């Protein structure tokens, strides 16, 4: 991992959130951009300002995968933006419909309406975040 602008606490919170709440999204990202379309499982193991790091299960063995961000990240809120971008692009690349429910007050049938991948597990995430008092992301309006 290269030098990171993110503290170990931020990295731990983001990786735990992705692994606990978005394992299917993580797998899609690894299949589309990690060079392992045959991966059967994946988890986020770290991140820095230039890439996300993952461990993928391929043919029964664990392989390390590093997937670069589209631009260098310097702020915590940028992580969510990049992960959502990777998820959306992975769905498009693999021909998989995006999961989730419409964002607050928006219908996915309206032009420009896009569900947040986090909304697919929002109820569980919200309960988890309320119980721990922690938020994995610093983006306004992400989770209550």
Q: How confident is the model at residue 39 (pLDDT cuts 50, 70, 90)?
A: very high
b/e per residue 86-123 (b: at least 16 CB within 10 A) = bbbebbeeeeeebbbeebeeeeeeeeeeebbbbbbbbe
* Residue 33 is assigned to a structural domain of this protein: yes
Query: What's the pLDDT tens digit per position in 57-84?
Result: 999 999 999 999 999 999 999 999 999 9
Pick the residue with more confidence: 11 or 107?
11
Q: How confident is the model at residue 4 (pLDDT cuts 50, 70, 90)?
A: confident
Query: What's the pLDDT tens digit per position in 100-128?
Result: 644 444 333 323 333 444 444 443 443 34
* Residue 135 is assigned to a structural domain of this protein: no
CA 60 to chain centre: 23
Average pLDDT rounded to a whole number, residues 41-49: 98
Q: What is the CATH number of the domain that holds 52?
A: 3.20.180.10
* Residue 75 is assigned to a structural domain of this protein: yes
Q: Is 24 exposed, middle or buried (0-12, 13-18, 19+ CB in 10 A)?
A: middle
> So what's the pLDDT on residue 100?
66
Domain with 38 in it: 8-98
* Residue 36 is assigned to a structural domain of this protein: yes
* DSSP letter, residue 29: H
E-assigned strand segments in 20-95: 41-47, 51-58, 61-68
| Counted domains in the chain | 1
* DSSP letter, residue 138: -
């Amino acid at each position: 991992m290269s030098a990171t602008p993110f503290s170990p606490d931020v990295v731990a919170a983001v990786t735990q959130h992705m692994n606990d709440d978005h394992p299917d999204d993580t797998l899609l990202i690894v299949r589309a951009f990690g060079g392992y379309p045959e991966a059967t499982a994946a988890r986020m193991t770290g991140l820095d300002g230039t890439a996300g790091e993952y461990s993928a299960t391929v043919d029964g063995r664990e392989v390390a995968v590093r997937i670069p961000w589209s631009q260098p990240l310097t702020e915590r809120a940028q992580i969510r933006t990049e992960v959502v971008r990777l998820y959306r692009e992975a769905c498009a690349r693999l021909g998989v419909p995006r999961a989730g429910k419409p964002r607050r007050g928006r219908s996915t049938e309206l032009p420009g309406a896009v569900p947040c991948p986090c909304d697919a597990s929002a109820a569980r995430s919200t309960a988890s975040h309320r119980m721990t008092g922690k938020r994995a992301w610093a983006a306004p309006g992400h989770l209550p």
